[in-house]
A and B are shown apart, each in its own frame.
Chain A
Amino acid sequence: MKLLVCVSKTPDTTSKISFTPDGSKFNDVGITFIMNPYDEWYALVRALELTEKSGGTVTLVNVGGPDNDQTIRKGLAIGASDAVRIDAEPKSALFIAKQIAEHARGQYYDIIFCGKESIDFNGSEVGAMVAEFLDLPFASYASKLDVSGSTATLEREIEGGVEIVEVAGPFVVSAAKGMAEQRIPNMMGIMKAKSKPFAVVPPVAFPDYAVPVKYTLPKEKTGVKLVPADDMDELVRLLHEEAKVI
């Protein structure tokens, strides 16, 4: 099996987010960056499990600058075979998807994995875009993926339940919690990662149609109103009369 896993770099989940004073850019001072959890914990690990069972390769692809190399190396340390970084500072999802699709075209990957969303822009768009550029089926929010021969069976998370779908032939999948369990790279993996093939290639020209121009933080809550634990009638009254939510 020849598998591709799309990975992105995101701020750590515990990060306190801030922006430059004019609100135009993310303030990365003091921020630890990690591989997007959905890409790492579920997409990458499931891809590795499939190749461990049936043989094959897992290639990582990332669109970003040299500051992404550490994140990509971690993916190699966890077990990916090789990596490609498309050297660009992306501003929009469609640009990223175009770059990944151009890399994947002609490589005939059996499955292209991505996380269900990145935890920075939360768009869930790139997987669907890559699928469309390559005219492939797309199974989104998959919490289970099993492959038997050339047929895959997936469990997709939908509102209030799950949908079980079958796909034949190459496809794109976005991975949700449940597809695999997080793996911690070991020392051997980290050593091996240093000698694995890691290509840096230039991007193809493509416009940005939708870009963030201004960021704002939510207004601080004005302060919690404490209600005595033995007076829940008062809480109900407040929710009804003051907050007007019941």
Chain B
Amino acid sequence: MILVFAEAVNGQFKKTAFEAVTYGNKTAQLLGNQCVVLTLGKVNNAGQLGEYGASKVYNVSDANLDSFDSQVYASVIAQAAEKLGAKVIVLAHTSTGKSLLGRLAARLNAGSVAGVKSLPDIAGGSFKVTKGVYSGKATAEYEISSDLKILSLSGNEIRPAKGGGEVAMEELHLTVPSPKTRVLQVKRQEGIVPLPEADVVVSAGRGMKGPEHWGIVEELAKVMGATTACSRPVADADWRPHHEHVGQTGLAIRPNLYVAIGISGAIQHLAGVNQSKVIVVINKDPEAPFFKAADYGVVGDLFEVVPKLTAAMKKFKAG
């Protein structure tokens, strides 16, 4: 049985959860097995996970599961895996999933791979998956030899696929320990798709010359339905908040479309973004190294090009 932990944020399931269930379902089909989903705490509309291939959805409800503590969550997921006889556990490679993966591997004495980007290759009885290494500069194939395998699925690698119908949610009764951490406050930017989940990212760098010019970037992002990002020097200079920094020491992202504005494309920046499916580079310097990693390039003054692109996008959206 494949056990997927589907994470809810404020009770709502997001794309990363649908991706994880889709991955679990496809893995289950490969192994001739069932995909069972576990949810924790207060969740809304868990039955919809059946549409992505869950044959069953279990929930453990307990006040101690309403906020995240890796120790408590790992204990409950491990109990569920043992009780239900899981062969593979699938998590999403989110801050929550990443905090749980290692704990589960240590607790269940199992092999784990973080940030998986392919379905398992089970040729010849082995179990192999690939993941990005060296900050996205290369791919490694991992072989897992333990009976139980634990994976966290990288975002934007698998398209959530609907096929099945809604399933009923069943309560699972397990021991829920008390957390040793206490969540005092959660501050989330509302109405913005977080960078790791964004399909389209509009990112800008030092070429912007100052934080006061970001309006044109934000306007382009708005019309493209994109999340904004920035390069390291820009975050270091406090032109933009640190959570927008993508690159080797910031966030690694893999959107469908990455638009880089006034970013030269240092190797450290490329490391965080070069797994994007399509890269557009706008830079006035035709020698900017980023053009070598780009699919489409515009050589020109960003202060002229970006508003033109925004206007063209508006025209396109208006059909």
Contact = CB atoms under 8 A, between A and B. Distances in A.
Q: Is the pairing of A and B real?
A: yes
Contacts of B313: 236, 246
**B interface secondary structure, majority:** mixed
B304 A125 contact: no
B142 A122 contact: no
Given A163-B185, A177-B250, A235-B296, A210 B99 contact: no
A140 B71 CA distance: 12
Contacts of A171: 180-181
B296 A125 contact: no
B295 A221 contact: yes
Interface residues on B, range: 35 or more
A94 interface: yes
Contacts of A163: 68, 183, 185-187
A137 B111 contact: no
B158 interface: no
A217 B192 contact: no
Interface stretch (B30-38, B129-137, B211-219): B129-137
A141 interface: yes
Interface string A111-149: 000000001111111111111110111111101000000
B308 interface: yes
Nearest to B182: A166
B237 interface: no
Interface stretch (A46-54, A154-162, A187-195): A154-162
B86 to A, nearest CB: 15
A16 B267 contact: yes
Contact of B99 (A14, A140, A143): A140
B138 A229 contact: no
B107 A132 contact: yes
B256 A245 contact: yes
B172 interface: no
B294 interface: yes
Interface in B269-302: 271, 274-275, 277-278, 280-281, 291-301
Contacts of B249: 13, 37-38, 119, 177
Contacts of A218: 137-139, 274-275
Interface in B168-219: 179-189, 192-197, 199-200
B95 A156 contact: yes
A129 B297 contact: no
A214 B145 contact: no
B142 A211 contact: yes
A159 B249 CA distance: 16
Given A13-B268, A17-B138, A137 B180 contact: yes
Contacts of B304: 229
A210 B294 contact: no
Nearest to A26: B134
A65 B230 CA distance: 38
A164 B183 contact: yes
A240 interface: yes
24 contacts: A94-B111, A97-B106, A122-B131, A123-B114, A125-B105, A129-B102, A132-B104, A140-B99, A141-B98, A161-B189, A161-B243, A163-B68, A210-B145, A211-B143, A224-B291, A225-B295, A230-B300, A230-B308, A233-B312, A238-B296, A240-B316, A243-B295, A245-B199, A246-B257
Given A131-B70, A159-B94, A210-B145, 5 more contacts: A120-B133, A125-B101, A171-B181, A228-B298, A243-B257
